[in-house]
Structure 1
Amino acid sequence: MTSLTAGRPAHDTTLRPHTSHRQGRLRALDGLRLLAALMVAVYHYGGRGGEVAEAWGTSPKLQFPTLHTWFAYGCLGVQVFFVISGFVICMSGWGRALGAFFASRAARLLPAYWCAVALVVAVFALPVVAYQAVAPSDALVNLTMLQMPLGADRVLGVCWTLWAELRFYALFALCVVVPGASRRRVVLFCAGWTPAAVIAQAAREPLLDLVLMPEYAPFFVGGVGLYLVHRDRRDVHAWGIVGVSWLLGQHHAVRELWHAPGGDAFSHRSSAVIVLIVTLGFAAVAAVALGRLDWADWHWLTVAGALTYPFYLVHEHLGWVVIGALHRGLRLPSAVTFALTVASMLLLAWLIHRRVERPATPRLRALLSSPSR
């Protein structure tokens, strides 16, 4: 989903002597990214109705009579992603100029995204696929990642989260990267965005909502605060940012995702379980920040992290196509279809990473980083 990479930032000269800032790749964070993506996939395959019911031929409630209720909580993987994104964008933006920051983000996001858009458009254009492709003009607009504000039909259902990510990048770049990252500046960024987002929600002003994202700001800010904790675990201000972000984040998650049980509802999401999942998401990233998961230094976690973004992009719509082919076409059992669909999307993600991202990302970064003539 996100442009989450684990490159290391330049050392911050504003750190205090008791810093716990550590070098090296945070492999556990890569594992958390894939776990969050799998949560979202579980939701899209068995935790909701709509188009996925067309893929299965019946509602996932009938395919997974017990599990569908738990699958419905998988949508909270997005909130976990946003916490991770706040951590990683602060880490990768520290010590970088605006041009380098822009080149890094664009090169990380665009190659796999363009490939995913092309794949979904091509597959949906096949006569044997029942899903309707978007209009050619809208498909072209999707290549810009700006289809959401323009009101164009989306090729990728998950692209709404990328639009939130882009707005976060813009805010962070303007407030932190342009003037130069420092602990004080990052703290002020968090301390400014948090109340501004609350005011935006109270004001009910669409422009403020668009810019400040009150329902998602606590997760991004919480991740940024956890990166400050990673640099200095005794930073009281950083812990305060994390605590306030968690309190606001769980409130927004419950407000947006809780619904009472009823005959028309696909499932019932308990407010207690929503709060628990949000808490576990913050706690997991905090464990990485504090070095509690440094023992998870396995190479395969780096591979898992590399697969996360392309998997997130392709898993939903192409996964529905695979579900229909395996379950309705080959009559495979629901559990087998579910497992094979996830495996096939991971394989496709690996191919995109190897054949598209690996060659294209460094070239695009170099092109965007080259000085103007």
Structure 2
Amino acid sequence: MARGRAVLSPGAPEVEAGVEPVAAADRAPARPPAARRRPPLPALTGLRALAALWVVLFHYRTDLEALAPWLAPFDRLLAAGYLGVDLFFPLSGFVLAYNYADVLRSFSWRRTRAFVQNRFARVWPVHVITLHVDLAMAVAAGALGVGEGGHRRTGEAYVQNLFMVHNWWNDRPSFNGPAWSISSEWFAYLLSPLLFLAVGRVRRARTFLPLAALAYAAMLGTYALFALPNGNLEHLFFVRILGEFLGGAFLCLAWVRGGRSLRRLLPLLPLGLLVVALVPGASSGDYWMAPVLGVSVAALAASSGWTARWLSTTWMVAAGEASYCLYMTHYLLQPVVRGLRQWGDDAWWSAALALLAVIAALGAAAWLLHVAVERPARRRLYART
């Protein structure tokens, strides 16, 4: 997968991509009934909105800074927006561990099938719609085949996208670029039942913090040793998703099974972002911030401070619920954004109107897909458990 210099580092991610609202108490029962659902923690839903926005700012920072020069001092922070994916991935692991680790701690075909079906329903409908939008745009523009930077719009890549395995075989993007992280997420989803079955046998909750540290260390060490000049790991796509997904899952289990609250570490997130914004080279495409982002997810889950309250507001939760659609549609709007930028270059007033139009277009596309596709598809496809 590409690092920050690559055009596609959003996931996710979504590019967690595909995170549900979650919640926790400081100490969860050791063996909660499978049917019991913990109360929601909407702050993690609001956090999704910030992660998706960071990715959008990363991809369009040149256009936005041209329309709004006052954004230029924040260029280093915007250039680090590829790390939005590295916030999505641990958030996904944290959420799924919280909601499913106890349910899937013993094997059941019915529960496993329901889990996979619900994960499929969460990501595939939006993915397949945006795939075909990209395909239609490529046909109209005569852009099928292999394009700049190895971007693949081929028959083989199309079939791989339908099954969400397109990033498993090739580190180059295909069709709707940010969807590479959905392929990685799908890989983690399919492994999750085995993961939760394995950790169900771990009796000492304190074991999970070292496991989280080990997951991140393995990821960062692999990138340090084997990353290509373009920042990718050839044929090792799973390193980034597993390091961060497992990190988030283990941090969650350290909390809910052992009460290891990390809320006092929440200031690490603004401190890390401050370093990224102020230190040259800190947003050069490396992943040193990844563990900070994972710990921040866990700290926010246990927090009841003003940050959690703000992220839990109605508007932030609504934005978080539509964040997957924002992530999956924003890259398709390049012709609109670039056209508005050109139109807005003439004067300050046209630049201001163009900036407002860009925001409106991105928001409208995301909300339309969320309301017309994501919500109905989840209602139809979700397994009732």
Identity %: 26
The 5 Å alignment of 1:271-350 reads 279=292, 282-283=295-296, 285-292=298-305, 295-296=309-310, 297-316=312-331, 318-329=332-343, 333=350, 336-350=353-367
Letter in 2 for 1:75: Y
Instruction: Find the residue that maps to 2:153 and give its secondary structure.
Output: coil
What corresponds to 1:357 in structure 2?
Answer: 374
Instruction: Find the residue that maps to 2:18 and give its secondary structure.
Output: coil
8 Å CA contact retained: 1:76, 1:278: no
8 Å CA contact retained: 2:42, 2:317: yes
What corresponds to 1:68 in structure 2?
Answer: 75
2-structure distance, mates of 1:204, 1:323: 36
Instruction: Find the residue that maps to 1:125 and give its secondary structure.
Output: helix
Q: Does 1:89 align with 2:103?
A: no
Letter in 2 for 1:173: P
Match of 1:14 among 30, 35, 39: 30
Q: Does 1:146 align with 2:191?
A: no
Taking only aligned residues, the RMSD between alpha carbons, in angstroms, comes to: 4.7
8 Å CA contact retained: 1:30, 1:302: yes
What corresponds to 2:249 in structure 1?
Answer: 224
What corresponds to 2:190 in structure 1?
Answer: 170
The 5 Å alignment of 1:200-279 reads 201=222, 210=236, 213=239, 215-228=240-253, 230-231=255-256, 234-235=259-260, 268-269=281-282, 279=292
2-structure distance, mates of 1:99, 1:136: 30
8 Å CA contact retained: 1:116, 1:310: no
What are the Cα deviations for residues 50-85 of structure 1, in whole angstroms up to 9, with x where unaligned? Answer: xxxxxx5x9999996544333201111111112211
Q: Does 1:117 align with 2:162?
A: no
What are the Cα deviations for residues 16-44 of structure 1, in whole angstroms up to 9, with x where unaligned? Answer: 9xxxx994221111111010100010000
Letter in 1 for 2:154: A
Deviation at 1:216?
4.8
Q: Cα distance 1:234–1:361, how it changes in 2: closer, same or farther (>3 A)?
A: closer
2-structure distance, mates of 1:160, 1:85: 15
Deviation at 1:144?
1.5
8 Å CA contact retained: 2:209, 2:254: no
Letter in 2 for 1:365: Y
TM-score normalised per structure 2: 0.68
Q: Does 1:156 align with 2:176?
A: yes
Gaps of 5+ in 1: 48-55, 262-267
Equivalences, count: 331
Deviation at 1:12?
6.0
TM-score normalised per structure 1: 0.70
Match of 1:107 among 102, 121, 141: 121
Deviation at 1:163?
2.8
2-structure distance, mates of 1:63, 1:130: 38
Q: Cα distance 1:192–1:87, how it changes in 2: closer, same or farther (>3 A)?
A: closer
Deviation at 1:289?
2.5
